[in-house]
Amino acid sequence: MGEVLIKGGRVVTAVDDYVADILVKDGQIEAIARHLPNSDAEVHNASGLMVLPGGVDVHTHMEFPLGPAETCDTFETGTRSAAFGGTTTIIDFALQKQGETPKQALDRRLALAEPQACVDYGFHIILTEVTPESLSELPDLINQDGVSSFKMFMAYPGVLMVDDAGIFRTMRKVGTHGGMVNLHAENGGVIQVLIEEALAQGNTSPKYHALTRPSIMEGEASHRAIRLAELAEIPVYLVHLSAKEALDAVVEARDRGISAFAETCPHYLFLTIEEYDRPDFDGAKYVMTPPLRDHTCQHALWRGLKFDDLQIVSTDHCPFCFSERPFGIHRSKQLGQGDFSQIPNGAPGVEFRVPLLYDGGVGGGKISLNRFVQLTSTAPAKMFGLFPQKGAIAVGSDADLVLFDPQKPHILSASTHHSNVDYSLFEGRQVTGKVEKVFLRGELVVDGDRWLGKPGNGRYQKRSASGRVI
Ligand code: URP
Ligand code: ZN
Ligand code: ZN
């Protein structure tokens, strides 16, 4: 690949803000200076634009099976959508199916992603069976295969849920090798009782998804997860944190010096439980787990982001079409017509994370510009063992760069996004701040509305330790 020169952009990182030229060679940043000569490089004028490190989204689900359903983005369409939204690295999930070992799950997902991925990618492994055989594979997965984080579910009994002993055993095993356990923290047993009660009373509409998953049960499980990690003496990471009660548990632990970390997602920051009051079956579009919460929770989440009690904004991009037409019933919310508990849990969002957080966070005066970069790129890269190759604009880092126009308004819509999914949680919302160009290891993959990337050009990222230093 020839050299690329990005001229006169406002370089914004988690700590810096200055105007400079950036020279890219062999996919990495070669030099940063006030003025660099043009030489033979391909030149991109970035004056008036910000240059951001490529976004790192550590929570996506491409072509992901969830019960009888499967998400409707392939690795190709989902990673292309990510790129258009300024995200150049994702960490997706390898789900250990029944009878499968964690390594087999990883190999299966690697084979699926490798020919398709348009941005760089890694995997967390979802452990569903904590057997001696599974546990014995974990050290090599961390040290040789570059998977240093393992998601476990405290919800979905009989499907994905693992008991406390299994979680604790896993924590003990991975802790000494630089691994971290990521928890889906909700009390699955209690929630199951509430679901059964609601259905028995004939309460079948999407709103009952939210009413049967109360925030105190997220708080309870979060507290339990942190205490288990404390005993195991390893860091812990709570995924898709939505409730004030869960954040309170994180704050309490962090105040005691415990390495408790958490992410939240744009839908919890910008939407509330009122969305479930939409007529007909429309509320199903907002059925994700945990559900949308109230304004008190939303306010607490913004406060958490500002004061670093929450470290990361990820999307939990888990797209199911609303209509069954494009990809069939198994990729559709229609599976849950007449029974909210059968609505596939998950919502799309990989393309809108960066513009939404810029518009609502920085534009809305809730977080600083540097903090915005920290939350969307640098902290996720550090948390999950990708830094400084990712999440940085520095000599020697990968030239994953986003040219971002902070003044440009645009409208978020399913009619213009690049995901396979047929709706957007943010349909019609105007935001200011638009991704103009995206470079993946120095290669221009997005140029305005034009797609220049190629499936298979995304590279698997072997990660170092998770949760150690951020
Ligand atoms: O509703 C959600 N979040 N679906 C994806 C699976 C998970 O729990 O992350
Ligand atoms: Zn989850
Ligand atoms: Zn998820």
For residue 441 and ligand 1, the question of a CB distance below 6 A is answered with: no
Q: Whose CA is nearest to atom 5 of ligand 1?
A: 346
For residue 345 and ligand 1, the question of a CB distance below 6 A is answered with: yes
For residue 259 and ligand 1, the question of a CB distance below 6 A is answered with: no
Inside any domain, residue 114: yes
pLDDT for residue 39: 82
Whole-number percent of the chain with pLDDT over 90: 99
Q: State the average pLDDT over residues 228-245.
A: 98
For residue 288 and ligand 1, the question of a CB distance below 6 A is answered with: yes
Indicate which ligand has the atom closest to the C-alpha of 69. Answer: 1
pLDDT for residue 289: 98
Q: Tokens representing 67?
A: 């019960």
The Å distance, Cα 289 to ligand 2 centre, comes to 7
Q: State the average pLDDT over residues 391-400.
A: 98
Range of the domain at 325: 55-372
CB 209 within 8 A of CB 343: yes
Inside any domain, residue 435: no
The Å distance, Cα 95 to ligand 1 centre, comes to 12
pLDDT for residue 359: 98
**Residue 259 predicted with pLDDT over 80:** yes
Inside any domain, residue 60: yes
Convert the pLDDT of each residue in 140-195 to its tens digit.
999 999 999 999 999 999 999 999 999 999 999 999 999 999 999 999 999 999 99
Inside any domain, residue 220: yes
Pocket test residue of 57, 60, 66, 127 for ligand 1, highest count of atoms within 8 A of CB? 66
Convert the pLDDT of each residue in 315-366 to its tens digit.
999 999 999 999 999 999 999 999 999 999 999 999 999 999 999 999 999 9
Taking residue 388's Cβ as centre, other Cβ atoms within 10 Å add up to 16
**Residue 437 predicted with pLDDT over 70:** yes
Q: In angstroms, rounded to a whole number, what is the distance separating the alpha carbons of residues 330 and 320?
A: 9
Split at pLDDT 50, 70, 90, the class of 1 is confident
Q: Which helix (H) or strand (E) holds 158?
A: none
Indicate which ligand has the atom closest to the C-alpha of 347. Answer: 1
What are φ and ψ of residue 415, in 5° steps?
-75, -15
Inside any domain, residue 333: yes
pLDDT for residue 38: 84
pLDDT for residue 31: 98
The Å distance, Cα 457 to ligand 3 centre, comes to 24
DSSP state of 187: -
pLDDT for residue 470: 64
Convert the pLDDT of each residue in 202-222 to its tens digit.
999 999 999 999 999 999 999
Q: Tokens representing 289?
A: 């787990």
Q: Which of 390, 402, 400, 446 is nearest to 9 (CA)?
A: 402
Q: Whose CA is nearest to atom 4 of ligand 1?
A: 346
Convert the pLDDT of each residue in 117-128 to its tens digit.
999 999 999 999
Give burial (CB, 10 Å; 0-12/13-18/19+) of 448. exposed
Q: Whose CA is nearest to atom 2 of ligand 1?
A: 346
pLDDT for residue 404: 99
For residue 318 and ligand 1, the question of a CB distance below 6 A is answered with: yes
Q: In angstroms, rounded to a whole number, what is the distance separating the alpha carbons of residues 165 and 76?
A: 38
For residue 289 and ligand 1, the question of a CB distance below 6 A is answered with: yes
Measured CA to CA in angstroms, residue 58 lies from 76, 194, 239, 427 at distances of 17, 31, 10, 24
**Residue 469 predicted with pLDDT over 80:** no
Convert the pLDDT of each residue in 7-34 to its tens digit.
999 999 999 999 999 999 999 999 999 9
Total domains in the chain come to: 1
For residue 218 and ligand 1, the question of a CB distance below 6 A is answered with: no
Inside any domain, residue 389: no
Indicate which ligand has the atom closest to the C-alpha of 213. Answer: 1
Q: In angstroms, rounded to a whole number, what is the distance separating the alpha carbons of residues 140 and 131?
A: 16
Place of tokens 């632990």: 253
Place of tokens 């799309």: 348
Q: Which of 67, 73, 86 is nearest to 112 (CA)?
A: 73
Split at pLDDT 50, 70, 90, the class of 468 is confident
The Å distance, Cα 422 to ligand 3 centre, comes to 19
Taking residue 2's Cβ as centre, other Cβ atoms within 10 Å add up to 10
Q: Is the pTM here over 0.95, yes or no?
A: yes
**Residue 135 predicted with pLDDT over 80:** yes
Q: Whose CA is nearest to atom 7 of ligand 1?
A: 289
Q: In angstroms, rounded to a whole number, what is the distance separating the alpha carbons of residues 226 and 248?
A: 12
Indicate which ligand has the atom closest to the C-alpha of 59. Answer: 3
The Å distance, Cα 317 to ligand 3 centre, comes to 7
Q: In angstroms, rounded to a whole number, what is the distance separating the alpha carbons of residues 72 and 329?
A: 11
CA dihedral 4→13→400→26, nearest 10 degrees, is 50
DSSP state of 96: -
The Å distance, Cα 71 to ligand 1 centre, comes to 11
Q: What is the CATH number of the domain that holds 88?
A: 3.20.20.140
Inside any domain, residue 226: yes
Q: Whose CA is nearest to atom 8 of ligand 1?
A: 289
Measured CA to CA in angstroms, residue 324 lies from 69, 276, 327 at distances of 11, 20, 6
Q: What is the mean pLDDT of the chain?
A: 98
Indicate which ligand has the atom closest to the C-alpha of 350. Answer: 3
Strands 443-447 and 55-57: unpaired
Q: In angstroms, rounded to a whole number, what is the distance separating the alpha carbons of residues 271 and 336?
A: 22
Q: Which distant-in-sequence residues (6+ apart) come within 8 Å of 351 by Cβ?
A: 81, 82, 84, 85, 417, 418, 419
